[in-house]
Amino acid sequence: MVRDLLWQNIVLEPGATQVVDTPAFQRLRYVRQLGHAFLVYPGATHTRFEHALGAYGLARRALATLAERGRLAGLTERDALFIRLGALLHDIGHYPFSHALEESGLTSHETLARDLLASSPLADVLRGHGFADPAAELGALIRGESDHPLAGLISGSTDLDKIDYLKRDALMCGVPYGEVDVDRLLATLTVVELDGKRRVGIHEKGIAALESLLFAKYQMYRNVYWHHAVRSATAMFKRLVHEALVDRALDTATVAETTDDGLMHELLGADRTGLASALRERRLYKRALEVLPSELGLPVPLPAWLRGDAARLAKAEDALGRGVGLGPAELLIDFPHKDAMLGMDLPVARSDGSVDRLTQEGWPGRMDLPPFAARLAESACRLRVFTRRPVTVSVERLGEVLAG
């Protein structure tokens, strides 16, 4: 039994306990859930460890509810264990400091999870519970590539990971934005057949609860995850790690295996930019410019290198910085973006027994929120320029650098 701040008691079965006791899982105790958000919201020091336990607890609840309503017919206890362990292990490959390093183009944490699932002692524990090839089976589930009928509980529009992190992050940050009608959402989950396959869906009675999830996600991204000071710290950290990798003071394998404090210790010892000590002492870069992408007047979309090409981004930052009298790494460009942030693809069971498909186009007359949600998500994606000291950066010059 684990006493959790959010969900109260979480009961761990023997297989889950053995997974939790492996070194790979224990590392998650030292990886903060929200990266540098604690520099803005002091309570945001919770970790991937407790989040993983929370997702596991929700998986137990969801499966019990589906079983009580006869929705798991034809599925075995091994199927249920597969989903519970998938929930527990969904973040096993996570980097330090949340998603910042994936934004810089490093291998996704879902892919890193595959390597950990193939390594002892974690792999031995999973094989002992009937998973002959845990890296293939659980890895596909974590990456959203599994065709298991219950895979939507781990990766999908209403996955349990999302429910836990929205509720937990709001609680720990002390903000009122993560309100999700969890009980109603879980109570209306179902398993339906759509396009010849069994899939997790929701009964139409749960649409209002689903809307609460979408609004909570939008509000948390706008007010917490993409808060301007959080993004300043994130941009500083990304440039800091990039320079350390260029200098070969770090390698990507080390970054993937370490913890928040372990990585910062390495960076403080190797940094030549001053960014490491600035982060440690919370001397964050300030906004010199903040615009919506549409305000740049570019004839083409924002360049792809803004998301995932750290070297190209650093080159653009330094070019823009030179024009306003700043040195290398003294000006940073940040564009937070998440593909399909409020995306929707979910079967909906009708009261008459039919099944509809709720997509990003919405469900006319019943749920028109998804298209509106897409516009909300777009409004939250602000392009910002952060600088070490006050300077004036023009929209026109930023547009030229991005178009160049």
Q: What is the pLDDT of residue 392?
A: 97
Query: CA 294, 295, 301, 305: dihedral to nearest 10 degrees?
Result: -120
Could you list the residue range(s) of the whole structural domain that residue 6 is in?
2-226
Residues 226, 230, 231, 237: is their CA dihedral positive or negative? negative
Do 206 and 258 have their domain in common? no
Tell me how crowded residue 307 is: count the other CB atoms within 10 A of its CB.
17
Same domain, 299 and 164: no
263 and 238 in a single domain? The answer is yes
pLDDT at residue 265, as a whole number: 96
- Residue 25 C-beta-side C-alpha neighbours within 13 Å: 24
The model's pTM:
0.94
Same domain for 385 and 301: yes
Q: Evaluate whether residue 343 is within a structural domain.
A: no
Which of the listed residues 196, 226, 256 is the one where a domain comes to its end? 226
The reply to whether 287 and 397 lie within a common domain is: yes
Token readout for 292 is: 């919506």
The H or E element containing residue 375 is: helix 369-380
Q: Does a structural domain hold residue 355?
A: no
pLDDT in tens, 258-272: 999 999 999 999 999
Within a domain: 92? yes
| pLDDT for res 172 | 97
Q: Are residues 140 and 98 in the same domain?
A: yes
Number of domains in the chain: 2
Indicate the residue among 226, 242, 263 that finishes a domain: 226
Residue 358 covered by a domain:
no
The mean of the pLDDT values for the chain is 92
Cα-Cα end-to-end distance for the chain: 57
What residues contact 101, with CB distance under 8 A and at least 6 apart? 95, 238, 241, 255
| Residues 94 and 167 reside in one and the same domain | yes
Phi-psi domain of 348 (left: phi exceeds 0; alpha: psi -120 through 50; beta: other): beta
Mean pLDDT of 201-208: 92
Task: Determine how many CB atoms are found less than 10 A away from the CB of residue 327.
Answer: 11
Contact between residue 386 and residue 235 where contact means Cβ atoms under 8 Å apart: yes
Rounded to whole angstroms, the Cα distance separating 361 from 377 reads 15
Residues 164 and 29 in one domain: yes
CATH number at residue 59: 1.10.3210.10
- Is 84 part of a structural domain of the chain? yes
User: Under a CB-based contact definition with an 8 Å cutoff, are residues 143 and 153 in contact?
Assistant: no
Do 214 and 75 lie in a common domain? yes
8 Å CB contact between 47 and 172: no
Task: List pLDDT tens digits, range 88-105.
Answer: 999 999 999 988 999 888
- Binned at pLDDT 50, 70 and 90, residue 53 comes out as very high
Residue 107 pLDDT: 85
183 and 251 housed in the same domain: no
Burial class (CB in 10 A: 0-12, 13-18, 19+), 317: buried
Flag whether 372 is in a domain. Answer: no
Using the Cα atoms of residue 285, residue 291, residue 293 and residue 295 in order, give the sign of their dihedral.
negative
pLDDT in the model for residue 341: 66
Question: Domain check: are 222 and 86 in the same one?
Answer: yes
Q: Are 180 and 167 in contact (CB under 8 A)?
A: yes
Q: Of 198, 226, 254, which residue is a domain's last?
A: 226
- Band of the pLDDT at 230, cuts 50, 70, 90? very high
Letter for the amino acid at 396?
E
249 in any annotated domain: yes
